[in-house]
């Protein structure tokens, strides 16, 4: 057994055999039993220590939510991008390509054994992008794509007309979104939970935009932007130079001016929330 | 599976009124344990409730409080990331890398106004450990649910919950 079996035992997260093993160890080892008792006390403290909001706070918060939803245009408060539904969803080939890209991105984030293969990533992106306009997905994939996203799309606030999401895919902590600009340029956006290994992108130029930093790397006529984020890292792949990516992503904003990273986050949230509950 | 007793009724899609009336205090508890102070907790609950009201989150029948706890946690983590984001190419200013340092003035005030040794200890944990412990012990989620939410293996959740509790034990004794 490992030490964390003690907590798992308290939480009822062990199998019968594992539980018996822990029970035997506790009976034989008073020090371990004392540790177990301490952990149990911590657990009980957390479970019993209810937190009371300040008097009137909850009424005030609920009223504020009602007011925000009633009075303010949705775009002023919540995500800026509307995830407009389009039928130009990817073919199986595109989905397969997307998975390859995701695999390469996952392999490259936060690790040292496998730096992001940007060339591969771009090449795969181009395959995916080329078929974004292709045939409709098979029924089963269509159902998969439609099920959790329809609600989000229906409820999401307006998106600038020049940027339409055509594709969304998640694989564990990585999400892949494909947007098409009014000029027909596909932009692939990957979000991965974890921090970027900035050193891996040292060859690219750094572009500052609001609070986001983009490391851009021209490659075979395409560009990869790596956007700094603590907890999240964004990869934006486009055939457009990064300046054009910025224009597309920043175009037609409402009064506030969120950063590119913030807009990506907002857009992704609309998609990510349903996906997180989609088991 | 742990935490069944803490869960709300399963099945029907909850109305906004139900969530606001019956569960906003639960959401506040989770938010407070995560955020560590009253002001941030209120902001997190407000944003989480707004997402529920606007239908930006899709309800999965089965565990109402688990679902609400996940929304609260998502909002909290989003806010944390937003605050940490910095236009920088080097890492020395990364707030994560600052070892010591007291709470900011406004947090300090909030903590003094609501003395709570459990919270003070929780605030010492990193987001990863605090989130695991709070989702497990305050929100009553199972390891499987926490793992699905965080996108990490169950073994990682088990380790985080245990290490978080062990650290709390050191801090509270």
Structure token digits, residue A224:
């990869």
pLDDT tens across A211-231, in order?
A: 444 444 444 344 555 554 445
Residues A139 and A259 in one domain: yes
Residues A117 and A247 in one domain: yes
Q: Do A105 and A170 contact (CB within 8 A), yes or no?
A: no
List CB contacts of B52: < 8 A, sequence separation 6 or more: B16, B19, B68, B71
The percentage of chain A sitting over the pLDDT mark of 90, rounded to a whole number, equals 14
Of A61, A66, A276, the CB nearest to B149: A276
CATH classification at residue B101 = 1.20.140.160
Name which of A260, A276, A258, A206 is nearest A77 in CA terms. A258
Whole-number Å distance between alpha carbons of B115 and A45? 15
The answer to the question of residue A231 being in a domain is yes
State the pLDDT at residue A188: 66
Q: What is the token pair recorded at A41?
A: 């006390």
Q: Give the per-residue pLDDT at B144.
A: 87
Residue A59 CB-half CA count within 13 A: 3
Let me know whether A39 and A98 are in one domain.
no
Tell me how far apart the terminal alpha carbons of chain A are, to the nearest angstrom. Answer: 30
pLDDT digits (tens, 9 = 90+) for A68-95: 877 654 433 222 222 222 222 333 333 3
CA distances from A208 to A72, A78, A235 (A): 31, 24, 15
Is B158–A8 a contact, with Cβ atoms under 8 angstroms apart? yes
d(CA B31, CA B77): 11
Considering only CA atoms, which of A253, A46, A200, A163 is closest in space to residue B118? A46
CA distance A250 to A8: 47
b/e map A124-149, b = 16+ CB within 10 Å:
bbbbbbebbeeeebeeeeeeebeebb
Enumerate the H helices of chain B as residue ranges.
Answer: 16-18, 24-35, 38-53, 64-84, 105-113, 117-123, 127-133, 143-150, 154-172
What residues of chain A lie within 8 A of the CB of B64, using their CB?
none
Who contacts A197 (Cβ-Cβ below 8 Å, separation ≥6)? A108, A109, A110, A111, A112, A115
Same domain, A263 and A206: yes
Cα–Cα distance measured from residue B88 to residue A211, given in angstroms and rounded to the nearest whole number: 9
pLDDT of residue B51: 80
Q: What is the pLDDT of residues A91-142, one digit of tens each?
A: 333 333 333 333 333 333 333 223 333 344 444 444 443 333 333 333 333 3
**What is the per-residue pLDDT across A54-67, written as a single tens digit (0 to 9) for each?**
888 889 998 888 88
Nearest CA among A245, A247, A241, A209 for reference residue A228: A209
Could you tell me if A197 and A264 lie in one domain? Answer: yes
Greater model confidence, A173 or A132: A173
Residue B122 domain boundaries? 4-172
d(CA B97, CA A131): 44
Confidence band (pLDDT; 50, 70, 90) for A44?
Answer: confident
Chains A, B: CB contacts under 8 A, how many?
A: 180
pLDDT value at position A175?
Answer: 60
**Could you tell me if residue A109 is inside a domain?**
yes
> How far A277 CA lies from chain B's nearest CA (Å)?
7
Strands (E), chain A: 163-171, 174-181, 186-193, 205-209, 212-219, 222-227, 232-238
Whether the pLDDT of residue A244 is over 50: the answer is: yes
Residues A127, A44 within the same domain: no
Q: Collect the ranges in chain B with pLDDT lower than 70.
A: 1-13, 55-62, 81-115
Chain A, 125-164: which have a CB under 8 Å from a chain B CB? 148, 151-152, 154-156
Query: What range defines the domain where residue A34 resides?
Result: 5-48
Quote the mean pLDDT of chain A: 55
- Model confidence at A183, in pLDDT bands (50, 70, 90)? low
* pLDDT for residue A85: 27
Query: In this structure, are A16 and A143 located in the same domain?
Result: no
The proportion of chain A whose per-residue pLDDT surpasses 70, expressed as a percent, equals 24
- Judge: A13–B148 Cβ closer than 8 Å, yes or no: no
Q: Is B33–A51 a contact, with Cβ atoms under 8 angstroms apart?
A: yes
Is residue A75 assigned to a domain? no
Task: Specify if A113 maps to a domain.
Answer: yes
What are A177's two structure tokens? 């979104």
Indicate whether A235 belongs to any domain: yes
Give me the DSSP letters along A244-261: HHHHHHHTT--SS---HH
Alpha helices in A49-166 (DSSP H): 57-71, 74-77, 92-108, 118-130, 139-155
Q: Could you tell me if A155 and A256 lie in one domain?
A: yes
Helices B64-84 and B143-150, packing angle to 10 deg: 40
Of residues B152, B98, A98, the one with CA closest to residue B144: B152
What pLDDT was estimated at residue A151?
Answer: 40
Q: At residue A12, does pLDDT exceed 60?
A: yes
The structural domain count of chain A equals 2
Rounded distance between C-alpha atoms, residue A265 and residue A276, angstroms: 15
- Short-list B65, B59, B80, B78, CA closest to B28: B65
Q: Could you say which of B78, B137, B173 has the minimum Cβ distance to residue A43? A: B137
Query: What average pLDDT does range A148-161 have in this prediction?
Result: 38
A258 touches chain B (CB under 8 A): no
CA A101 to each of CA A117, A146, A179, B26, B48: distance values in angstroms, whole numbers, following the listed order: 9, 22, 16, 40, 32
In a domain, A63, yes or no: no
Residues A129 and A261 in one domain: yes
Partner B, chain A 210-239, Cβ-Cβ below 8 Å: 210-213, 228-232
User: Does A99 lie in the same domain as A15?
Assistant: no
Between B70, B136, B161, which is nearest A276 by CB?
Answer: B70
Q: Which residues of B touch A201 (CB under 8 A)?
A: none
Give the per-residue pLDDT at A7: 95
What pLDDT sits at residue A16? 92
Q: Taking residues A265-269, what's their average pLDDT?
A: 44
Nearest-CA distance B8 → chain A (Å):
16
Tokens of A241: 């130079």
Q: Do B165 and A39 touch (CB under 8 A)?
A: yes
Distance, CA of A131 to CA of A129 (rounded, Å)? 5
Total tally of structural domains belonging to chain B: 1
Residue A91 sits in the same domain as residue A31: no
Judgement on whether residues A139 and A39 belong to the same structural domain of the protein:
no
């Amino acid at each position: 057994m490992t030490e964390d079996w003690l907590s798992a035992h308290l939480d009822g997260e062990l199998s019968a055999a594992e539980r018996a093993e822990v029970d035997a160890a506790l009976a034989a080892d008073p020090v371990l039993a004392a540790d177990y008792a301490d952990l149990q006390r911590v657990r009980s403290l957390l479970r019993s220590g209810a937190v009371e909001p300040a008097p009137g706070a909850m009424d005030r918060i609920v009223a504020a939510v009602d007011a925000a939803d009633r009075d303010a245009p949705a775009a002023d408060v919540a995500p800026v991008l509307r995830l407009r539904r389009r039928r130009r969803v990817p073919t199986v080939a595109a989905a397969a390509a997307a998975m390859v890209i995701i695999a390469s991105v996952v392999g490259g984030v936060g690790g040292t054994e496998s730096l992001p293969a940007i060339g591969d990533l771009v090449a795969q992106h181009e395959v995916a992008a080329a078929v974004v306009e292709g045939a409709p997905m098979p029924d089963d994939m269509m159902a998969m794509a439609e099920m959790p996203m329809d609600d989000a799309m229906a409820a999401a606030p307006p998106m600038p007309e020049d940027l339409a999401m055509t594709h969304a895919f998640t694989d564990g902590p990585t999400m892949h979104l494909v947007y098409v600009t009014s000029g027909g340029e596909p932009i692939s956006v990957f979000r991965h939970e974890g921090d970027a290994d900035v050193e891996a992108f040292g060859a690219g130029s750094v572009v500052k935009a609001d609070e986001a930093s983009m490391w851009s790397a021209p490659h075979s006529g395409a560009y990869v932007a790596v956007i700094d984020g603590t907890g999240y890292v964004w990869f934006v792949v486009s055939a457009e130079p990064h300046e054009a990516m910025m224009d597309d992503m920043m175009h037609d904003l409402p009064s506030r001016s969120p950063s590119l990273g913030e807009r990506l986050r907002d857009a992704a949230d609309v998609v990510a929330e349903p996906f997180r509950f989609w088991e | 599976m742990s935490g069944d007793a803490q869960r709300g009724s399963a099945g029907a899609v909850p109305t906004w009124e139900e969530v606001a009336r019956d569960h906003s205090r639960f959401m506040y508890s989770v938010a407070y344990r995560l955020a560590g102070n009253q002001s941030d907790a209120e902001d997190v609950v407000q944003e989480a409730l707004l997402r529920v009201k606007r239908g930006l989150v899709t309800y999965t029948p089965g565990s109402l409080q688990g679902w609400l706890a996940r929304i609260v946690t998502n909002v909290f983590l989003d806010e944390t990331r937003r605050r940490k984001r910095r236009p920088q190419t080097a890492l020395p200013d990364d707030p994560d890398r600052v070892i010591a340092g007291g709470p900011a003035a406004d947090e300090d005030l909030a903590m003094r106004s609501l003395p709570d040794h459990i919270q003070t200890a929780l605030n010492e944990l990193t987001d990863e450990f605090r989130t695991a412990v709070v989702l497990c012990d305050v929100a009553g989620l199972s390891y499987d649910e926490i793992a699905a939410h965080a996108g990490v293996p169950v073994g990682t959740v088990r380790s985080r919950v245990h290490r978080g509790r062990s650290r709390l034990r050191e801090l509270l004794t």
